[in-house]
Amino acid sequence: MSDPRLFEAAARWCKDPLTFVQKNYPWGEGELSRFDGPDIWQADVLGCIRDNLSRTVPLKIAVAGGVGPGKSTLASWVIDWAISTCTDTRIVITANTGSQLSSKTLPEVFKWHRMSLFNSWFEAGS
């Protein structure tokens, strides 16, 4: 049986991906020892999602950047937030190529899922 505090946290964070990211991962510890939370631009995007959630109007956000700014990380957080806090969530993950999906995007999703407080709720690939 899962810790009831996780259910309470999921309910509190279901409309707040920014707080989910700030509280869900072990910032300052282990492989996150050099980090205290999301970058400013990532926090801005997560705040935009929080502030513009709607059941009737799709939210469309585009993020452009070169290699390494944290786009896949941001996508991984949003995926982890959605599956952990929203009932019956379905997510489609795409990339420009199958190689990019299997070598870049999915490993990042799995990495953040592994560090999530909710990792016992779902089985992810490796």
pLDDT tens, position by position, 73-119: 999 999 999 999 998 888 888 888 999 889 888 999 999 999 999 99
pLDDT at site 90? 87
Return phi, psi of residue 80, to 5°: -65, -40
Residue the block writes with tokens 């937030």: 81
Cα(29)–Cα(1) distance, integer angstroms? 26
Q: What is the mean pLDDT of the chain?
A: 90
pLDDT at site 122? 84
Report how many helices (DSSP H) and strands (DSSP E) the chain contains, helices first: 6, 0
